[in-house]
Structures are given as structure tokens and as C-alpha cells.
């Protein structure tokens, strides 16, 4: 595994990579408040399978790619980052995986640029249309309270920093396997960089300014074979997906995974959308060619 820096215009994205330079490209997008380190286990396994696996630190999480204005954290910008990173890697097409906010960026990339995404894997992120439907339910709004809290100017940065980053550490408390003290210290080091907390929170601030009509207008069908993995404790919400997603993602599989929040190591069992599962062979993590 190697540390990388990918320069895109005036921005430089840090990250991790593994695997042969001529392998099919897999880009893995991390969630909040993590970094590319969240994908270490997957990077190694994908490299063993012959892929060139690349996990960039997202905009705001990379010290060299941390705009200060909220407008720079629009999905159009983060999706453009993915495309530019792929281009710098020499990939005209690639496999894409995303968790949490990285999953949101992955959804948008696959919808807005279907010609470049060969296969898509999503971890614990609702399809955008399903997310919009959830906004009509008080229970979902209560669970999303922090989204509205993060929209407050300046206060969230103070709160998340308090008590040795307790707020962010709380987000990662249920990880299985649990983060080691050394891993947690690496995250605290990343969060403590100048402007890092604001950069991460700006994803939510920008999202809070988007109208549901604007989000709905961006939704497009995804032709790429799509695998969605839910943590076991929230997998029940996936049972209502097939009627919606078989039209939006024709090659569609939903899996339940155990354990839930950590993107370390998971075992999955396919459990839904059987009408579409037969169209997704070969599976998303099987190399198309021994060499790209």
C-alpha cells in the first residue's frame, strides 16, 4: 500500500493506493468523518485480486484540497473531483465504491456520468430519491438532526473539537471491528489540521441549501451493475427499495452486511431484488481483464 498525491488543477488530493499499475481501476470514496484510511482492508484485498485500487481523501478532507467557501462543496464539484482523479490515473472508465458521503458522491457520479462507471457499490447510503422520500417522515428528520445543526455558522466547529473531538469519535463508536487507539489517533490528527473540521462540515452546509426539487431534477437511471450493502442494524430499510430501484438501477442487488458501520471487513448475504440480480454478473469485484 502506498500514499499518493493526485494534483487536479489547483487542488492536490492525498490518499492511498494498492495493486498493479496496469490493473483495472477501482476508486473508493470514504465517508464522514473518516479519511482514505477507512478503506485499508479493501485496498489490500482488491490489490490481491489484481485491481489498481485508489482511495482519495475527499475535498475538504485533503489538506491540499480544502476550499473555504461552502459553495465549493456542491455535488457537482465533488463529482468533478472523482472524474479528474480518474483521468489523472489514466482511466477512461472505472469501478466505483462509496460509503456515507462518499456513497452520495458515488451515486451522483454514476447518475451524471454513466459512461465512465463500469460497476457501482454503495455502503449505507440511500438512493437519492429514497432519501428525498424520507424527508417527509418526522422520524427520519429526527435521526438527521445533526444535518441541521451543522448548518449553523461557526458553532459546529467549536462543538466537534470539544473534549478531544468527542463528537466525531462518537460517530465512529459502533465500528466493528472497533478502531484501535492508534487508528483513532490518526483520525484525530487528521481532524486537527487547519480548516479540516470546517471542510468536512461544509458538505452538510451545502446540502442544506439545496432544494428537494433541484435534487430530484438531477436523478437519472444508473445502467451500471449496482451493489448496495446495508449494515445489519439498518438493513430492514432496504426491503422497501426494489420497487423503486429496479427502474433506476436495472442491474441491482441489495445485501445486508455484518458488522455495520466500519468499512473494515464485512461478510454479505444477498437478500433482495432477486429479479435484477441475474443481470449483474460478473460480480462488481471480479476483474474484467488481467491487465487493463
Strand partners, 120: 96, 226
Angle formed by the axes of helices 196-208 and 181-191, nearest 10°: 70
194: its cell numbers: 487547519
DSSP secondary structure of the chain: -EEEEEEETTEEEEEEEES-TTSPEEEEE--TT--GGGGHHHHHHHHHTT-EEEEEPPTTTBTBB--SSGGGGSHHHHHHHHHHHHHHTT-SSEEEEEETHHHHHHHHHHHH-TTTEEEEEEES---HHHHHHHTTSHHHHHHTHHHHHTTSSSHHHHHHHHHHHHHHHHHTTT-SSPPPHHHHHHHHHHHTSTTHHHHHHHHHHHHHTS-HHHHHHT-----S-EEEEEEGGGGGGGGG-HHHHHHH-SSEEEEEEES-S-SS--EEEEEE-HHHHGGGPSPTTS-SSS--
Rg over alpha carbons for the chain, rounded to the nearest Å, is 18
Q: What integer pLDDT is reported at residue 132 of this predicted model?
A: 59
Q: Could you count the other beta carbons within 10 Å of the beta carbon of residue 283?
A: 12
Q: What integer pLDDT is reported at residue 79 of this predicted model?
A: 96
Termini Cα distance of the chain: 19
DSSP secondary structure of 78-133: HHHHHHHHHHHTT-SSEEEEEETHHHHHHHHHHHH-TTTEEEEEEES---HHHHHH
Distance of alpha carbon 29 from alpha carbon 99, whole angstroms: 6
Residues in the chain: 292
Q: What integer pLDDT is reported at residue 266 of this predicted model?
A: 35
Structural contact between residues 48 and 116, judged by C-beta atoms closer than 8 angstroms:
no
Q: What integer pLDDT is reported at residue 217 of this predicted model?
A: 75
Q: What integer pLDDT is reported at residue 215 of this predicted model?
A: 73
CATH topology of domain 2-280: Rossmann fold (3.40.50)
Taking CA atoms, 226 is separated from 159, 169, 247, 255, in Å, by: 37, 31, 12, 11
Structural contact between residues 129 and 244, judged by C-beta atoms closer than 8 angstroms:
yes
Q: What integer pLDDT is reported at residue 220 of this predicted model?
A: 82
Q: What integer pLDDT is reported at residue 276 of this predicted model?
A: 29
Q: What integer pLDDT is reported at residue 136 of this predicted model?
A: 61
Q: What integer pLDDT is reported at residue 250 of this predicted model?
A: 54
Low-confidence ranges of the chain (pLDDT < 50): 235-239, 241-244, 246-247, 257-292
216: its cell numbers: 430530484
Q: What integer pLDDT is reported at residue 233 of this predicted model?
A: 61
284: its cell numbers: 462488481
Q: What integer pLDDT is reported at residue 281 of this predicted model?
A: 30
pTM of the full predicted structure? 0.81
Sign of the Cα torsion 53, 17, 123, 81 reads: negative
pLDDT, one tens digit per residue, over 144-198 is: 777 889 999 999 999 999 999 999 998 888 887 889 999 999 999 999 999 999 9
Amino acid at each position: 500500500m502506498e500514499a499518493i498525491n493526485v494534483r487536479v488543477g489547483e487542488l492536490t488530493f492525498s490518499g492511498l493506493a494498492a495493486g498493479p499499475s496496469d490493473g483495472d481501476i477501482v476508486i473508493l470514496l470514504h465517508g464522514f468523518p473518516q479519511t482514505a484510511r477507512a478503506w485499508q482492508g479493501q485496498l489490500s484485498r482488491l490489490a490481491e485480486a489484481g485491481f489498481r485500487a485508489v482511495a482519495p481523501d475527499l475535498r475538504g478532507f485533503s489538506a491540499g484540497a480544502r476550499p473555504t467557501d461552502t459553495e465549493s462543496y456542491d455535488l457537482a464539484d465533488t463529482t468533478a473531483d472523482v472524474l479528474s482523479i480518474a483521468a489523472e490515473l489514466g482511466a477512461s472508465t472505472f469501478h466505483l465504491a462509496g460509503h456515507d458521503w462518499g456513497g452520495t458522491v458515488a451515486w451522483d457520479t454514476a447518475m451524471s456520468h454513466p459512461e465512465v462507471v463500469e460497476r457501482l457499490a454503495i455502503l449505507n447510503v440511500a438512493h437519492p430519491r429514497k432519501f428525498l422520500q424520507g424527508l417527509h417522515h418526522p422520524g427520519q428528520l429526527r435521526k438527521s438532526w445533526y444535518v441541521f445543526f451543522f448548518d449553523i455558522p461557526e458553532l459546529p466547529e467549536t462543538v466537534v473539537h470539544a473534549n478531544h473531538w468527542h463528537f466525531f469519535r462518537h460517530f465512529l463508536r459502533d465500528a466493528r471491528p472497533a478502531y484501535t487507539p492508534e487508528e483513532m489517533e490518526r483520525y484525530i490528527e487528521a481532524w486537527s489540521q487547519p480548516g479540516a473540521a470546517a471542510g468536512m462540515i461544509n458538505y452538510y452546509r451545502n446540502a442544506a441549501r439545496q432544494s428537494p426539487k433541484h435534487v430530484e431534477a438531477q436523478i437519472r437511471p444508473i445502467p451500471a451493475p449496482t451493489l448496495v450493502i446495508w449494515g445489519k442494524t439498518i438493513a430492514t430499510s432496504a426491503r422497501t427499495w426494489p420497487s423503486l430501484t429496479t427502474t433506476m438501477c436495472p442491474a441491482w442487488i441489495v445485501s445486508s452486511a455484518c458488522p455495520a458501520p466500519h468499512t473494515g471487513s464485512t461478510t454479505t448475504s444477498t437478500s433482495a431484488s432477486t429479479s435484477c440480480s441475474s443481470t449483474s454478473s460478473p460480480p462488481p469485484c471480479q476483474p474484467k481483464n488481467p491487465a487493463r
